[in-house]
A and B are shown apart, each in its own frame.
Chain A
Amino acid sequence: MYNNIKILYHQGKQFIPDVTTAKVPGIFRGRPIIGTAKVDETELMEMCPVNAISVNPVSIDLGKCTFCGECAMRFPEKITFTTDYKISTNDRESLVIKEGDDKPVSVNSDKVRPEIQKLFGRSMKLRQVSAGGDNSCEWELGAANNVQFDMGRFGIEFVASPRHADGIAITGPITENMAEALQICYDATPDPKIIVLVGTDAISGGIFAGSPALNRTFLENHTVDLYIPGNPAHPLTIINGLLDLTRKRK
């Protein structure tokens, strides 16, 4: 007992006091900014491993981007990645960052169903489904609930059964072999319910887009309530995205 108290004392306070303003250490690659400098646009477009870059105007689709940063290393005068981790949105189009854009990515509150903020504004339980996820987004969802990020303080938690959940959080590109289980899990979740896509693989298929082993028809038949980009998504991106969706703005 004495030893346990000693450890508690040594650990001190670990939680991040304000997860909406916390700074991330190092060279984290968050929301990119595309400058107006002229570069070889064909080379820029073709160097991207996941075809996230388009031209006329030059834009980066954060739903496809793996945040490897190679475009910014090759063309530093054109592309820079900021440390802004608030890149979650309910509007798929908002994930496309265009030349000259330097405004935050956020949830479009006009498109949020009214019952979401009313019912889930102070408590929301999610059932996580990994459908071909590579265990990186799964790790970060777990980290969002550790003692530092402590998403539980907002009443947002992951539960063991879809019966206890207010929605599902999908990771991975959705494989053919998981398609049925995903549908069963969604059907077992009581209404009203939300769908959250976590990570590049879930949003667009990522590097696996177009693989014949995938079956993404689930997404054609349902409306997605929140896109959380990243490879994997950072815990602060996850928490701020979920808060942005469910909380009324001050």
Chain B
Amino acid sequence: MHYLTIKNNQSVSLSEIPEVSYSTFLVLNTGMVAENLGRHCVNYFGYPDGDQIKLICCIADDTDHLIYISSCRVDVNTEYASFTAKNLCFEKFEREIHENFGVMYSDHPWLKPVRYAHDRVDMNEIIANYPFYSIDSEELHEVGVGPIHAGIIEPGHFRFICNGEQILHLEIQLGYQHRGIEKLFLETKKLNQLATLAENIAGDTAVGHSVAFAHVWESLCGFESTRDLDFARTVALELERIAIHTGDLSAGCTDIAYQLGSSVFGRLRTPIINFMQEWGGNRLSKGLIRPGQNKFPFTQALADRLKQVLDAFEPDFDEMNEVLFNMPSALSRFERTGVVSIEDAAAIGAVGMAARASGSARDIRLTHPHSLYAELNHEPFIKHHGDVYSRFQIRRKEVTQSIKYLRTLIADVPAVAEIKPAKATSAPGANLFTLSLVEGWRGEICHCAITNADGELKHYKIKDPSFHNWLALALSVRNNEISDFPICNKSFNLSYCGNDL
């Protein structure tokens, strides 16, 4: 066997992962993705191992709930054939390996810096000198936007090549948000510091990333989760989904200048995040999720309160959607705008809403269920047009679905189990590898950890769904009017800090 098969949140001994030659590694992983559209790369990363770089590739199968792990050792400053030349879905992973460790690729089509990490190999590469693609023509012009944008959002640079009003090409350059977070994971020794780091990876996905970290840590420690912990995490993930999807519908209305929709959806987000505050003391659920600890038990009183909040929320949400999605002036902006074809979405390994809007049933809640999702028998909403309309429709449907799940969950609030604190927070096992997949509101979050002989973190790898989906945004705007860029961008609402780490 050239690979090891594991399940979501399973820890294995590092030595169990087969190490193969680079040529086998290449054929194996690109082959697995090519032969089955239901497979994609959830994480592919390297870490220093002596003078060499050890590469670990994780391919997840959407249909059989399994993840295939393989590894290989490569030399720096030696040229290798790239995975990307065979499968586009490895594109950014290989750029990252190249930027961080200096592994060279002979046939990578786009070997540019990913985020200008502070510990990159080539310090002569600086963010001000990013090598943008350009076309030499008197007919075309370029538009540069950012890093600081017009709204209150994170920084990134967008470079458009346009023919009149029409976008021919968009290149997205990120890295401005790089805080060195993966390195901090290795230097930090206290568990509550690690948990605080995890919830600051992307503040709009505090629950998603904290749950992924908690799963990794608990798996490394051999901690068996309790029902009340799983319950709290499932509820928190669905609340976060409702809150952010509703906020995104508001932003979508803002970008088509529909003031009423913008105001109503904007205000509807408030009762949901205020409920988060009633539960855990923070509107964005920071401080709520901790490994092996149910810090703020979900009580029956909170369940009754949440029922009230949802009862008040749902009619207003439905009424607003009914009007918005039947309004010709809104539909004409949403429909057939920013299309990502089914083929493109599959080729680049899109995840989350972006994938589901382009015909893929990729949803960790279904494909690699954790917490209480197996009981909920989740069925993702799939659209096939891949346009702005599809992505906003999915948000609307997912909010309604999440409300349904919450109603089911709070009908049976589990009692809080007694957990001996030392049990969960005791040191992780030695020389382990673990992988955790969580479906955040944006899509698939993947955290991988490797421990050393003393049970300390030797490597921590974070992958936000945005890492896959930024390319989907760049493809979606081709041949669209540049004035439609904001609505395309908002329909994805990707994370800058989740990419830059």
Q: Which residue of A lies closest to B295 (CB)?
A: A73
Query: Knowing A27-B277, A130-B153, A213-B178 touch, does A177 contact B116 (C-beta < 8 A)?
Result: yes
Q: State which residues 127-164 of A face B: CB under 8 Å.
A: 127-143, 146-148, 158, 160-161
* A 176-195 to B, binary, CB cutoff 8 A, 1 in contact else 0: 11101100010000000000
Q: How many A residues are at the interface, by size bracket?
A: 35 or more
Complex: how many Å from CA A8 to CA B267? 12
Contact (Cβ within 8 A) B320 A130: no
How many residues does chain B have at the interface if contact means C-beta atoms less than 8 Å apart?
65
The residues of A that contact B197 with a CB separation of less than 8 Å are 207
Q: In angstroms, how far is the closest chain B Cβ from the Cβ of A176?
A: 6
Which A residues are in CB contact (< 8 Å) with B153? Answer: 130, 135, 138
Could you tell me which residues of chain A, from 9 to 53, have a CB within 8 Å of some CB in chain B? 10-11, 14, 24-29, 47, 49-50
CB neighbours of A67 from chain B (8 A) = 281-282, 286-287
Contacting residues, chain A, for B128 (C-beta < 8 A): 180
C-beta contact mask, B337-349 vs A, less than 8 Å → 1, else 0? 0000000000000
Smallest CB gap from A51: residue in B = B193
Q: Is the C-beta of B152 less than 8 angstroms from some C-beta in chain A? A: yes
Asked if B433 is at the interface of the complex by the 8 Å CB criterion, the answer is no
Residues of chain B within 8 A of A70, CB atoms compared: 192, 287
Tell me if B255 counts as interface (CB < 8 A to partner A).
Answer: no
Q: Which residue of B lies closest to A70 (CB)?
A: B192
For B184, the chain A residues whose CB sits under 8 A away are 207-208, 211
B264 at the interface (CB under 8 A from A): yes
Q: Is the CB of B497 within 8 A of A4?
A: no
Nearest residue in B to A127 (C-beta to C-beta)?
A: B148
Residues of B with C-beta under 8 A to A128: 152
Chain B, 248-289, contact with A by CB distance < 8 Å: what is the 0/1 string?
000000000000100110110110001101111111101100
B375 within 8 A of A: no
Evaluate contact between A49 and B193: CB separation under 8 angstroms: yes
Residue of B nearest to A73 (CB): B295
B175/A25 in contact, CB under 8 A: no
- List of A residues within 8 angstroms of B278 by Cβ: 25-27
Residues of chain A lying within 8 A (CB to CB) of residue B275: 26
Is A114 interfacial (CB 8 A cutoff)? no
The residues of B with any CB-CB pair to A shorter than 8 Å are: 116-119, 127-128, 147-148, 150-155, 175-181, 183-184, 190, 192-193, 195-197, 200-204, 206, 247, 260, 263-264, 266-267, 269-270, 274-275, 277-284, 286-287, 295, 316, 319-320, 322-323, 495-497, 500
Question: Could you write out 5 A-B pairs with CB less than 8 Å apart?
Answer: A14-B267, A66-B287, A70-B192, A134-B204, A211-B184
On A, residues with C-beta under 8 Å from B are 3-4, 6-8, 10-11, 14, 24-29, 47, 49-50, 66-70, 73, 81, 127-143, 146-148, 158, 160-161, 172-173, 175-178, 180-181, 185, 201, 206-208, 211-214, 231-232, 234
Known: A67-B286, A177-B116, A212-B183. 19 other contacts (CB 8 A): A3-B322, A27-B280, A49-B192, A131-B155, A133-B177, A133-B497, A134-B204, A135-B153, A135-B495, A146-B270, A158-B152, A175-B176, A177-B178, A185-B148, A201-B200, A207-B193, A207-B196, A211-B183, A214-B179
